[in-house]
Amino acid sequence: MTESDVQQSAPRVRFPGISPRAYEHPADKGAMATLRAVPGVGDVLKTLNSLFNERAERLVAVASYVRVSETQFPVINRLHKESAEILDLPKLPKLYVARDPFPNAHTIGIDEPFIVLTSGLVEALDTEALRFIIGHEQGHVLSGHAVLLTLLSRLLQLQRSVAWVPMGVIGLRAVIAALYEWQRKSELSCDRAGLLVSQDPAAALRAHMYLAGATDLSQIDIPSFLEQAKEYEEVEDIRDSIIKLLAVEQKSHPFAVVRASQLQKWAASEEYRAILAGDYKRRDAQDDENPIKEDMAAAGKSYKESFTNSTDPLVKVLSDVGSALSGAADRVFSGFRGRGGSGGGDQPPSDEDSNGDNGSSK
């Protein structure tokens, strides 16, 4: 990767004032809407954060990692600046490269979020795939994910310190599991942000294939790789469904093949094309009367569609049981309304009703 690689890249569309709501996954958007709606939650999180001293983490980063700048990793620095300009970040976060053979990247910090790339990631990826990853991490910053990501990190530390208190562990585990579920959806959101930065679905796919284990892409067949996602999602044995649930319970990211499949579908969507054409939500727009209500409704719709369209046998069983219980409850309450309605203009029960036959339903 050289400076000329960056200079010769095609010009990209910029998104002035883009709101993170333009690209966020519905489930992620709903979680963030809930967080923003709770009065004082920011102060509570900052108090919790202060117990672990974010300032110390920034100091450790300065002491242990290489800070990206014009003189250190200049190519990565160029990618970082260009990505921030495309997403119109209010402030450029600091970026570090840490010595670690495991390919990874993360964003942490509430007061001053910063990004860390591992050397294993930098060495593995080509320029455009790395651009996608940097855009992904900047998506976390723009969405304000660093707040919940940092909270999850703090709670994991706290869980280890209270492991001797059984009830404390149970309560924390429930919160941590919920945060992990949110984080997996937030990663799908930021893959979209990364694609908006790179504007190259093939580069995003290369990044996901590298993360899955590819070393020489000439040895990888893309249709076969994407077929793995379909195979994973369409298991036929309920035992496999349970294994899947246990496998992701404490995973911070969706599996690489799933991420690749989800992002390629979004890259082919009308929503993505509309954003590229300049039709997207902006941070300063006031066109939504109730964005929180809208985001929560979208989250609910997303989960419902996921359940409805899933071919997973366990999801089908749960969906069928839920539908059966819902139908039974509706019939029960419908019967009560038919027999005992008052004040709503309901007619008195008929003789047939009195004899135990089915009452009228509405």
Same-domain pairing of 220 and 255: yes
Same-domain pairing of 195 and 319: no
Please report the pLDDT score of residue 232 as a whole number. 78
pLDDT tens by residue, 121-158:
999 999 999 999 999 999 999 988 877 776 777 777 66
User: Which residue, 266, 281, 107, is CA-closest to 199?
Assistant: 266
Please report the pLDDT score of residue 2 as a whole number. 53
User: Which residue, 210, 243, 224, 222, is CA-closest to 314?
Assistant: 243
Domain boundary among 244, 259, 290: 290
Residue 33: pLDDT over 70: no
pLDDT band at 57 (very low <50, low <70, confident <90, very high): confident
pLDDT band at 335 (very low <50, low <70, confident <90, very high): low
Same-domain pairing of 82 and 202: yes
pLDDT band at 229 (very low <50, low <70, confident <90, very high): confident
Same-domain pairing of 163 and 251: yes
Q: Is 310 exposed, middle or buried (0-12, 13-18, 19+ CB in 10 A)?
A: middle
Same-domain pairing of 86 and 140: yes
- Mean pLDDT score of the chain, rounded to an integer? 75
Q: For residues 84 and 197, give the distance between their C-alpha atoms in angstroms, rounded to a whole number.
A: 9
Q: Is residue 273 part of a domain?
A: yes
Cβ pair 312, 233 in contact under 8 A: yes
How many structural domains compose the chain?
A: 2
Please report the pLDDT score of residue 234 as a whole number. 74
Residue 100: pLDDT over 90: yes
Give the chain's count of helices (H) and strands (E).
Answer: 17, 4
Residue 195: pLDDT over 70: yes
Q: Which of 50-54, 296-300, 318-322 has the highest mean pLDDT?
A: 50-54
Q: Is residue 301 part of a domain?
A: no
Q: What is the mean pLDDT of residues 296-324?
A: 47
Please report the pLDDT score of residue 323 as a whole number. 45
pLDDT tens by residue, 250-292:
676 788 888 999 999 999 999 999 999 999 999 987 545 555 5
Q: Is residue 12 part of a domain?
A: no
Residue 197: pLDDT over 90: yes
Same-domain pairing of 143 and 88: yes
Among the residues of 113-237, which ranges form H helices?
119-124, 127-143, 145-161, 166-198, 201-212, 222-233
**Structural domain boundaries enclosing 278:** 17-290
- Looking at per-residue pLDDT, the higher value among 119 and 37 belongs to 119
